[in-house]
Amino acid sequence: MLNATTRIRRLRRRLTVLFTLTSTAGLIGLTLYAAHLNNSLWRGQLDDELHRRTSRATALLVYDPGERLVFDGLIEDDVDSGCPALTVLAHQANGPVPVRRPRRPCAKVADKDLVAIARRATADVRQPVAATVTDQAGRQVRLYAEAFPNADFSATGGAVVVADDMSADIAGHRQVVLLLAIACAAFAGLSALAGHMLSGRAMRPALAALAQQEAFLADAAHDLHTPLATLRALTEGALHDDAWRGEALSRAARLAARTGDIVDDLLTRARLAAGVTPIRREPLRLDQLVESILDDTPTAGHRTRVTAQPVVVTADPALLRRAVANLVDNALTHGHQPGAPADVEITLTADGTIVIDDDGPGIDPGLAGELFDRYHSGGQSTGLGLSVAAWIAHAHGGSLTVGPSARCGARFVLRV
């Protein structure tokens, strides 16, 4: 069975492929439309040019008194020279027959093709006709024919046909199609890259939430395993030993309280990491907060002293209380020599800095940088309480540092 991270990454790949396919399909559609539009445009422009040439030629054709075609107007206007090549076909009994050919044929079109399109033009004089044929050199040629009347305008006298080589236009169109295909491929590649980046950005919150969930589960499993195992051992021992039951229950009660503190720290840290715990800032008397924490903290024979000045800070009372309580609890638990009571001194300065000194063994300088990471404490605990205190300090824009104390122990400095 695939784990959640693998499923999310597979979903990201699927989203990337789907986005790429959708974008590519759209790009291909636009490319085909652009190619079709380009083809229609240049063919339309070519037909317009040929139509202007046939219209000009038919207007210049006249008849002599013997009802024979006179081409002087074509010669004077020079309309039948150059390209496109112009051919005049007269209507006779057996069909259209070429009576004037181009002086310089640009395209060698077979007479049968000229006769065929002229026959179509004279059969329907309402509009010119066009066709594409292949000349004797194998090139595609565009034919355009327009009928002209006979001498007394009673019937059609024939048709004017122009022929233009489309090789250059077709080559240009193919070049445009090639450029469009290259652009489509490039944009498809960019679309795939953009889809991968966008899907990664979309999956990032899910991966972050999954990482936070796994971190919370790891913290819970690590921190609660030993207390729960000890609590189970105490309760099982109390069930089988009446003489030890009182001591076991007393230790179980303390351990249950400690386990509750661990759970609170776990939840606080998880909420801070997930950003679901809003920082409720309000003015509070920091000196009164510290004194109330000491009043609520069981000292169990340890000594605590407070030197405080009245000071007001803007902070979240619940979170700041948790941070200070964790630091005091850490000093009472670890800040003393083996077998001796702890002597903890707490100093509160006017700028809102809390300094906690103990007379314990101190902190190894090599561990000071890792002390506020979870699972690092320098003692027998997990260090989760110090990690939470550091998170709370940073959430308030402050800091939590540790160093040697003048009393040879450790000094924790909390600034908010």
Q: What distance in Å separates the CA atoms of residue 105 and residue 91, rounded to the nearest whole number? A: 22
Angular region, 404: left φ>0, alpha ψ -120 to 50, beta rest: beta
Least confident of 291-295, 357-361, 378-382: 378-382
pLDDT confidence bin for 47, thresholds 50/70/90: very high
Name which of 392, 411, 416 is nearest 401 in CA terms.
411
pLDDT digits (tens, 9 = 90+) for 215-230: 666 666 666 666 777 7
In the block, residue with structure tokens 């690092």: 376
Average pLDDT over residues 301-307: 85
Whether the model pTM is above 0.75: no
Q: Would the pLDDT of 374 be above 60?
A: no
Q: What distance in Å separates the CA atoms of residue 120 and residue 160, rounded to the nearest whole number? A: 12
Q: Would the pLDDT of 196 be above 80?
A: yes
pLDDT digits (tens, 9 = 90+) for 403-416: 888 878 888 999 98
Could you give the angle at which helices 245-274 and 167-240 cross, rounded to 10 degrees?
160
Residue 402 pairs with which residues in a beta bridge? Answer: 412
Average pLDDT over residues 131-139: 88
**Alpha helices (H) along 124-244:** 167-240
Q: Would the pLDDT of 137 be above 90?
A: no
Tokens of 302: 């340890």
SS3 89: strand
Residues 6 or more apart in contact with residue 264 via CB below 8 angstroms: 322
If one counts every other C-beta atom within 10 angstroms of the C-beta of residue 231, the result is 19
- State how far Cα 34 lies from the chain centre: 28
Q: What distance in Å separates the CA atoms of residue 84 and residue 168, rounded to the nearest whole number? A: 13
In the block, residue with structure tokens 């020599």: 337
Q: What distance in Å separates the CA atoms of residue 298 and residue 274, rounded to the nearest whole number? A: 32
Q: What is the mean pLDDT of the chain?
A: 82
pLDDT of residue 219: 63
pLDDT confidence bin for 33, thresholds 50/70/90: very high
Q: What distance in Å separates the CA atoms of residue 250 and residue 401, rounded to the nearest whole number? A: 35
pLDDT confidence bin for 29, thresholds 50/70/90: very high
What percent of the chain shows pLDDT beyond 90? 24
Least confident of 3-12, 109-118, 123-132, 396-405: 3-12
Cis peptide before 84 (omega within 30 of 0): yes
Q: What distance in Å separates the CA atoms of residue 57 and residue 112, rounded to the nearest whole number? A: 22
In the block, residue with structure tokens 């317009």: 48
